[in-house]
Homo-oligomer: A and B are copies of this chain.
Amino acid sequence: MTVELLPVEGIGEIAHGEDLGAVIWSACDASPVGLRDGDVLVVTQKIVSKAEGAMEQINPDDPLSHKPLVERESVRILRRRGDLIISETKHGFICANAGIDLSNVERGYAALLPDDSDRSANKIRERIRALSGRTVGVIISDTFGRPWRRGVTDVAIGCAGVAAVVDLKGTEDALGRELMVTEVCIADEIASAADLVCGKARGVPVAIVRGLEASWLRRASVRSEIIRDPAEDLFR
């Protein structure tokens, strides 16, 4: 079993209203790697926000002009330090600056998170199926920091047709004991893997992850599987 991480080249700037599923399918179709049943497409959040028009004008000369947007997109502030705000977004994510960012965005604009990234993933998946007949999984990824460990990593903020969390409960380990750790967030692992070939500076917004376990390709959602119930969360 080999898994391949394949960057999808040739996706240009994305404008509001663009048919993202069609753009991604064309780029895959034109690429030597193609697109196969069972592939998982990892689509970085920025192009989804652009296609959906989840953009707001800001004053490009004021480095803090996106801060009111951060407050607006947040339902609860967890921590502040200087300009940095860690909050719970209206989508349920806990991240810096409500996921709003200015890199890879035209000057004078800030990109917000898509309204419902599971729905965005599903829309891309269905569009690709309609155009190509291929059945793929789709993950929308974004870049989050985390407590205790330096450096950001890519995680899944939406998914369709690929599991977010896989429950190994009842599975035995290699020595025949039942596994203690049972729930693996493979959608976050797939998003992180894809970042190794997309990269923040390379301007490649989509990667294909090919060769994943077939049993992971199922109906799923980040909202229902990954976002932790506040009642069971020890760090709110």
Binding site for B on A (CB under 8 A): 1-7, 33, 78-79, 81, 86, 93-94, 101-107, 143, 146-155, 164-166, 168, 171-175, 177-181, 183-186, 188-190, 192-193, 195-197, 200-203, 209, 211-212, 225-228, 233-236
Contacts and interface: CB of A to CB of B under 8 A. Distances in A.
5 contacts: A151-B226, A153-B184, A153-B189, A154-B189, A179-B200
A149 B185 contact: yes
A40 to B, nearest CB: 10
A101 B154 CA distance: 27
Given A5-B5, A189-B192, A228 B149 contact: yes
> Considering the complex of A and B, which 5 residue pairs feature the smallest CB-CB distances, nearest first?
A151-B185, A174-B203, A193-B193, A147-B235, A189-B192
Contact of A103 (B101, B173, B195, B234): B173
Give the most central of A6, A174, A180: most B CB within 10 Å: A174
A172 B149 contact: no
Given A201-B172, A227-B149, A180 B4 contact: no
A107 B176 CA distance: 10
A31 B77 CA distance: 51
Given A101-B181, A150-B228, A152-B184, A234 B81 contact: yes
Given A174-B201, A179-B201, 4 more contacts: A2-B33, A3-B197, A150-B225, A171-B201
B226 A179 contact: no
A2 B5 contact: yes
Contact of A189 (B2, B196, B203, B226): B196
B179 A151 contact: no
Query: Residue among A143, A146, A166, A227 with the most chain B CB within 10 A?
Result: A146
B7 A4 contact: no
